[in-house]
Amino acid sequence: MSCKIVIVDYGMGNLFSVRKKLYRLHANAIVSSSPSEIAGADKIILPGVGHFQKAMENLVSSHLMETIQESVLVKKKPILGICLGMQLMAKKSEEGNVGGMGWFDAEVVRFSVQDTLKNKIPHMGWNQISIVKDSALMKNIPNLSEFYFVHSFHFKSYNKNDVLNVTDYDYNFVSAVEKENIFGVQYHPEKSHDVGAQLLKNYIDL
């Protein structure tokens, strides 16, 4: 039987586009806000679009934080954070000036670009990724592949060993991270055509 993937519904967007993409890959995936469903998952996806502080408040108020922390840190189940979902894995964010999950020695900061005409904020559209370490998540994904981004804040990692991808937008920022069973991508694989589908397939196959 295929592994069960739960896409966490904590009220912060783009859940069903992720589920649709997973269905096309014949994955056993559901969207749920149930702690027991999440606890019973083999793998977890934490998507999200919106405000960091609101996302953390929603995770706490919906009683999902404890379940996710136990699944990831104690039971060592794979988790993939997408966009805001990746940002929540940091220690803190300037967006709301609140703490995050604390899984990475990192913070989330607002883009500070010099040329605001050339590099508009939010960073929106297609951009290349540079793969900086070997990873099963990057299997059959060429270096400098283009993924779709939409964000005004970005991940700032203080441990270079956690960095999986970097992307240039006026300067290099961290666009994917990996540590043990924890994966995060700033871009949207569900909106990134074939290369995004490959990344999600790689996650399913872990």
Omega into 35 within 30° of 0, i.e. cis? no
131: nearest Cα among 170, 165, 82: 165
163 CB neighbour count, 10 Å cutoff: 21
DSSP-assigned letter for residue 2 = P
Q: Which two tokens stand for residue 143?
A: 């270096």
109: nearest Cα among 124, 96, 93: 93
N- to C-terminal Cα separation, the chain: 15
- As annotated, the active-site residues are 83, 188, 190
